[in-house]
Amino acid sequence: MSKQFDKSKIEKGVKEILEAVGADLKRKDIATTPKRVAQMYEEILDGQFRKADDELEVILEQTHDEIILLKGIPLYSLCEHHLLPFVGKAHVAYIPDKRITGLSKIARVVDVLSKRLQVQERLATEIADVVMKKLKPKGVMVVIEAEHLCMSMRGVKKPGTLTTTSVVRGVFRTNQKTRQEALSLISS
């Protein structure tokens, strides 16, 4: 993998796609499409070359040992199978062990990891991994609900269908009561 975003290569590729589908590249609006698409990809795949770890600032805090939940973090990602968006929400719960982070930092992690070519299951796993690695909490739970346009626009064509995935680590895995508590906080 090259370390830099190659916009000119995307431009070339988009031009070929446009030619292949019979678009008129001489038309003013379409002539500038390859450039626009390359710019757009650079923005929506901004996480490809960034480390999500860097976003999670650690704050030492001795006393808090209850569930901290970030609910409904908006998420826009691109499925690696079809290059179509999946859009939804992430919920991230953790129980700290002397380390917490600013509320916006977890949303930043979700953002960086979403702005990559992804599959929903891996996205949830990667979010959980970063939280585990940086905060070393007693446990973490990540739930993602998303609509995949590759399912809504094509294939089985079921618009509005939400796919839910969850990843649990630590105490959320071993203790059913704790997991249940987090789930009811998420759904309330």
What token pair was written down for 172? 């959320």
CA 80 to chain centre: 12
Contact between 64 and Zn ion by CB under 5 A: the answer reads no
Residues 40 and 86: their CA atoms lie apart, in Å, by 16
The interface with Zn ion within residues 77-136 (CB under 5 A) comprises 79, 81-82
Question: Is 66 annotated in the active site?
Answer: no
120-144 burial string, b = 16+ CB within 10 Å, else e? bebbbbbbbbbbeebbebbbbbbbb
Q: How far is the CB of 154 from Zn ion (least distance, A)?
A: 9
Question: With CB under 5 A as the contact rule, which of the stretches 6-14, 61-69, 110-118, 144-152 interacts with Zn ion?
Answer: 144-152
Which residue number, 41 or 94, has a Cβ lying nearer to Zn ion?
41
Question: Is 91 annotated in the active site?
Answer: no
Which residue number, 31 or 119, has a Cβ lying nearer to Zn ion?
119
**Alpha carbon distances (Å) from 90 to 42, 139, 157:** 23, 17, 23
Q: How far is the CB of 51 from Zn ion (least distance, A)?
A: 25
Which are the catalytic amino acids?
79-82, 120, 148, 150
